[in-house]
C-alpha cells in the first residue's frame, strides 16, 4: 500500500509539473494577452462581443433568477429564445467564478487561456496511456492544444474553442473498451456531457467521434465485444445523457423541423479551403507578410485557420506507414474529418469548383449535420487524430531529443505570437448614466443589422437596458416581427432613403411601448445617414458627444399628440411602401 501510494504521489507530481509547463507555454503562445489580462481581449473577430454578452447574461439570469434560455433583453418587446444560440454554458459559468476578482474581461481571458493547458494535459495522459513514452505524450499535448484552428476559434467562440474535453473522452473511452473498465465508461460519459455543456456543436462532434471510435473498436478488436466492455459503453451513454439533459431539454422543446431558420447552413461559403491546411497562421511572426495575400483570397478560413503543420504531417505519414495497425484509426479518421470539412464541393485558393462534388454534399442537409451550420467545423476533430499520430510516431522512434526537437518545431509552426490584443470599445459616458439611473425601458441602436448589433450588445453589458434588436446565432422566424410592423423601425432596418411619413407618430408609439431612447453611434455610420436619420426626429437630440447622439422617443408624442391605448400590438400598421 505504501509503495502504491508513493507511486500515485509521483504520478501526481509529474502531472502537476507537466501542467505547469503547459501553462508557461500557453503564456508564450498567447503573448501578450497575459499582460492585458483584465484590460484587453483577443483582437480577432467581432464575435468576441457576443461571447462577452453571453457571460453577462448568464450571470444576470443567475443572480435575478430568470430563465437563461429566454432573454427579454434582446428583440424587445418580444424577447427571444436562446436555446439554439451559440452559447457555452460551461464557459459562462466558469467566467462567473472569476468575475468578482478579475472583472468581465479578465474572466473571459482566464477561461480562454485555461483551455490550452487543460486540453494539452488530457492529450498527454491519453498518449502516455497508449505508448508509455512521456516525452512523446508531451509533444502530442503541444500538437493538440496549440493547433491554430483551436487558437483562432477560441479567441471569439468559446462554444467552439472549448475543446479541452475531447482528449479525456478519448482516454476514458479507450480504457472502457480495451481494458473493460466500467468506471472509465462513466467518466467518459461525464466528459462527453462537459463537451455538450461547452457547446451544442462540440457535443455533436464529440458524439460523432465517440460513435466512430466505438464502431471501429467493435469491428477490429475482439476484446471490445466482452460483456464488461459493452457494460462500460452503456454506462458512458447513460451518464452522458443524464448530465446533458439540462442543456438538451430546452433545445428539444424549442425544436421543430419546420423552423429552418434555426439551421443556417453555409453551403456556399462554409467549407474549408484545401490550401488552408498548408498555409501557416496569419499571425505567425515570420510568415505573416508572405501568407497575408493568400488569406486575403480565403473565405471561411480568413479567420479560422486549420493549418496542420509540416512537422506533424510528416510524423503522421511516417507512423501510418510503420505502425499501420496502431495508427490506422487515427490517420483514417483524420482523413475523414478533413474530407467532411472540405464541404459539398471543392474550394482551392479561394476559387470554388462546383464541378467537383464531395461526400459532404450527401449529408449536409440531413439532421444533425445541418446543425453544424458550416462544414469547416469538422476541423475541430482533426488535431485530436493528428496529435495521437505525432505521439505514436515519436514513441516508435524512441529518441528523447527528437521529441524535444519536435516540440520546438511544432511550436514554431503553430506560433501566433504576438497575439493581437485590443482594448474594449470605448463606451459613451451616457451609458454609464443609464446604468446608474432607475427605471425599466428599452433603447434602439443605429445602425441596425446583425453585425453592428454585436457591438451594441457589448454596450448593453454596461447600460443594462433591453435592446429593440440584437443578434443570436439562429434567429426564430418571428424575431423581427415588431421591427417590421413599425414603419420607422422598418425604414431604419432597411436603410430607406426617402422621407418617412409620420415619424413622430411612430416615435410616440415606441415611447408607449417602453422604448425611451434611440442611439446613433457616430463612429459606425456615415455623415449622410446621420443627417438623414436626424431629420426624421421632430426635436433636437437630448444628448451628444463624440461617440453618440441620443434622441428621446417621447418627443414624438408632443409633436404628434398621439397617445396609443390598450391593444397596441394588434394595431401597429404595416410598413408604408417607401422607395429605398
How would residue 4 be classed by pLDDT, with cut points 50, 70 and 90?
low
For residue 354, the tally of other CB atoms under 10 A from its CB is 11
Q: What is the pLDDT of residue 499?
A: 75
Name, of 212-216, 224-228, 439-443, 560-564, the range with top average pLDDT. Answer: 212-216
pLDDT in tens, 369-381: 888 889 999 999 9
Q: What is the pLDDT of residue 293?
A: 97
Is the separation of the CB atoms in 172 and 125 below 8 Å?
no
Please say whether the dihedral angle defined by the alpha carbons of residues 155, 157, 158 and 163, taken in this order, is positive or negative: negative
Is residue 578 pLDDT above 50, yes or no? no
3-state DSSP helix/strand/coil % of the chain, to nearest 5? 65, 5, 30
For residues 297-319, give the mean pLDDT: 97
Give the residue from 413, 424, 358 showing the smallest Cα distance to 383. Answer: 413
pLDDT in tens, 139-155: 999 999 999 999 999 99
Give the residue from 169, 30, 188 showing the smallest Cα distance to 110. Answer: 30
How would residue 580 be classed by pLDDT, with cut points 50, 70 and 90?
very low
For residues 330-349, give the mean pLDDT: 97
pLDDT in tens, 270-285: 899 999 999 999 999 9
Domain residue spans in the chain? 264-412, 429-570
Give the residue from 557, 546, 548 showing the smallest Cα distance to 447. Answer: 548
Is residue 324 pLDDT above 80, yes or no? yes
Is residue 366 pLDDT above 90, yes or no? no
Q: What is the pLDDT of residue 259?
A: 52
- Whole-number mean pLDDT of the chain? 92
For residues 475-496, give the mean pLDDT: 93
Q: What is the pLDDT of residue 372?
A: 86
The rounded Cα 26 to chain-centroid distance in angstroms is 19
In the block, residue with C-alpha cell 509547463: 21
Is the separation of the CB atoms in 229 and 181 below 8 Å?
no
Cell of 406: 519536435
Cell of 522: 457616430
Question: How far is the C-alpha of 285 from the C-alpha of 295, rounded, in Å?
Answer: 15
Amino acid at each position: 500500500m505504501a509503495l502504491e501510494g508513493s507511486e500515485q504521489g509521483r504520478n501526481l507530481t509529474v502531472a502537476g509539473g507537466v501542467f505547469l509547463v503547459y501553462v508557461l507555454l500557453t503564456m508564450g503562445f498567447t503573448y501578450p494577452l497575459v499582460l492585458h489580462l483584465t484590460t484587453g481581449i483577443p483582437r480577432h473577430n467581432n464575435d468576441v462581443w457576443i461571447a462577452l454578452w453571453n457571460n453577462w447574461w448568464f450571470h444576470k439570469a443567475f443572480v435575478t433568477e430568470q430563465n437563461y434560455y429566454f432573454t427579454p433583453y434582446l428583440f424587445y418587446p418580444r424577447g427571444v429564445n436562446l436555446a439554439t444560440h451559440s452559447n457555452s454554458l460551461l464557459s459562462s459559468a466558469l467566467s462567473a467564478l472569476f468575475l468578482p476578482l478579475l472583472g468581465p474581461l479578465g474572466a473571459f481571458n482566464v477561461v480562454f487561456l485555461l483551455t490550452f493547458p487543460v486540453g494539452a494535459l488530457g492529450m498527454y495522459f491519453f498518449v502516455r496511456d497508449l505508448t508509455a513514452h512521456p516525452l512523446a505524450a508531451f509533444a502530442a499535448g503541444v500538437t493538440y492544444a496549440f493547433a491554430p484552428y483551436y487558437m483562432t476559434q477560441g479567441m471569439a467562440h468559446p462554444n467552439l474553442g472549448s475543446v479541452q474535453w475531447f482528449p479525456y473522452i478519448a482516454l476514458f473511452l479507450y480504457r472502457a473498451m480495451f481494458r473493460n473498465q466500467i468506471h472509465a465508461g462513466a467518466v467518459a460519459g461525464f466528459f462527453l456531457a462537459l463537451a455538450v455543456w461547452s457547446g451544442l456543436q462540440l457535443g455533436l462532434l464529440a458524439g460523432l467521434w465517440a460513435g466512430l471510435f466505438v464502431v471501429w473498436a467493435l469491428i477490429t478488436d475482439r476484446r471490445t465485444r466482452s460483456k464488461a466492455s459493452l457494460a462500460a459503453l452503456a454506462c458512458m451513454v447513460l451518464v452522458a445523457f443524464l448530465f446533458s439533459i439540462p442543456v438538451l431539454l430546452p433545445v428539444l422543446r424549442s425544436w421543430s423541423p419546420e423552423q429552418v431558420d434555426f439551421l443556417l447552413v453555409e453551403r456556399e461559403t462554409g467549407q474549408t479551403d484545401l490550401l488552408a491546411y498548408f498555409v501557416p497562421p496569419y499571425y505567425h511572426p515570420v510568415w505573416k507578410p508572405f501568407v497575408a495575400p493568400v488569406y486575403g483570397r480565403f473565405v471561411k478560413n480568413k479567420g479560422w485557420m486549420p493549418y496542420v503543420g509540416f512537422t506533424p504531417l510528416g510524423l503522421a505519414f511516417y507512423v501510418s506507414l510503420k505502425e499501420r495497425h496502431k495508427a490506422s484509426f487515427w490517420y483514417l479518421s483524420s482523413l475523414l474529418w478533413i474530407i467532411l470539412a472540405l464541404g459539398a464541393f471543392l474550394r482551392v485558393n479561394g476559387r470554388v469548383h462546383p464541378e467537383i462534388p464531395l461526400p459532404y454534399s450527401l449529408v449536409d442537409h440531413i439532421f444533425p449535420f445541418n446543425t453544424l451550420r458550416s462544414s469547416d467545423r469538422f476541423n475541430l476533430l482533426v488535431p485530436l487524430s493528428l496529435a495521437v499520430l505525432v505521439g505514436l510516431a515519436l514513441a516508435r522512434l524512441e529518441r528523447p531529443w527528437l521529441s524535444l526537437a519536435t516540440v520546438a518545431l511544432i511550436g514554431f509552426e503553430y506560433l501566433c505570437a504576438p497575439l493581437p490584443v485590443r482594448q474594449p470599445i470605448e463606451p459613451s459616458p451616457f451609458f454609464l448614466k443609464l446604468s446608474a439611473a432607475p427605471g425599466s425601458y428599452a433603447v434602439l441602436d443605429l445602425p441596425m443589422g446583425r453585425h453592428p448589433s454585436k457591438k451594441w450588445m457589448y454596450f448593453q453589458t454596461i447600460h443594462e437596458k433591453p435592446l429593440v434588436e440584437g443578434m443570436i446565432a439562429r434567429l426564430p422566424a418571428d424575431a423581427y416581427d415588431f421591427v417590421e410592423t413599425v414603419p420607422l423601425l422598418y425604414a431604419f432596418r432597411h436603410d430607406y432613403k426617402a422621407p418617412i411619413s409620420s415619424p413622430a407618430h411612430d416615435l410616440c408609439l415606441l415611447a408607449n411601448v417602453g422604448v425611451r431612447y434611440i442611439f446613433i453611434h457616430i463612429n459606425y455610420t456615415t455623415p449622410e445617414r446621420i443627417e438623414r436619420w436626424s431629420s426624421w426626429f421632430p426635436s433636437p437630440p437630448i444628448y451628444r458627444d463624440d461617440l453618440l447622439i441620443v434622441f428621446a422617443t417621447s418627443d414624438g408624442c408632443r409633436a404628434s399628440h398621439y397617445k396609443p391605448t390598450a391593444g397596441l400590438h394588434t394595431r401597429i400598421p404595416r410598413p408604408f411602401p417607401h422607395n429605398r
